[in-house]
Structure 1
């Protein structure tokens, strides 16, 4: 089972989703990429995942170009807000899904508020991807 999680920057939401899905089942080949990969991970995303025992600090922020010639069981986009366009993937895919989330890296305000947004989105990603896992992979 090969899953590609796709977003724009590949620094935050797709990285957290990658970490969660891999933690649910080590036998799934999980990758994440971005159409405009930032080349680095968001430090707050790494921090909030570390808080719950999932280490994504070794992940890399990769361009979707790296994966266009591969075949995928699932490609899942995770972009969220109405002003944010989801990237398209033109490679070979059996199933395309969208599980959207707000981008916590766009949060503004106090440090406490920003971190609360990272925690909220992290928990939403966990719930959304666990539901995906139960409905599409575990029973397969």
Structure 2
């Protein structure tokens, strides 16, 4: 049975969206993947879409979701480093990845975040496979 994993941030417009893309690409055999934010936002940041497209992952159809749009209970809850507290999402494991928000920065800032998120996803997959 796949584990439910949720990536949470404030706007669900950048880091959590990239994490969702990576987790679906690299961990689709292990995870049922969600991402959401604590505040409403209009779109996934275009530079996040562009940075992911560079590595062959299309997140252009993803959209910002609120916490109320994902399951109330997940196995793994990951906050991206934005100080988000999610006491109302039940989970078995919670981690904060401390990824710097590239919003407002250059495409290189988005690439750095993208690559750090990939490394974190790969580590999460490795840990889950060894359980």
TM over 0.5: yes
Q: Between Structure 1 and Structure 2, whose CA radius of gyration is higher?
A: 1
| Distance of aligned partners of 1:47 and 1:93 in 2 relative to their CA distance in 1, 3 Å threshold | same
Q: Note the C-alpha offset of 1:26.
A: 1.6
Unaligned runs of 5+ in 1: 108-113
Contact 2:72–2:88 (Cα < 8 Å) also in 1 = no
Contact 1:8–1:87 (Cα < 8 Å) also in 2 = no
List per-residue Cα deviations over 1:61-108 (Å, max 9, x = no partner).
Answer: 1001223x53211010002xxxx422324122111111110110132x
Residue 93 of structure 1 pairs with residue 91 of structure 2:
yes
Q: Distance in 2 between matches of 1:89 and 1:43?
A: 30
Residue 132 of structure 1 pairs with residue 130 of structure 2:
no
Q: Distance in 1 between matches of 2:40 and 2:66?
A: 5
* Counterpart for residue 25 of structure 2: 23
Q: Distance in 2 between matches of 1:6 and 1:24?
A: 18
Q: Note the C-alpha offset of 1:19.
A: 0.6
Unaligned runs of 5+ in 2: none
Contact 2:38–2:84 (Cα < 8 Å) also in 1 = no
Structure 1 runs of 4+ aligned residues shifted over 3 Å read none
TM-score where L is the length of structure 1 = 0.84
Residue 49 of structure 1 pairs with residue 49 of structure 2:
no
| Distance of aligned partners of 1:55 and 1:89 in 2 relative to their CA distance in 1, 3 Å threshold | farther
How many pairs does the alignment contain? 128
* Counterpart for residue 109 of structure 2: 117
TM-score where L is the length of structure 2 = 0.90
| Distance of aligned partners of 1:14 and 1:86 in 2 relative to their CA distance in 1, 3 Å threshold | same
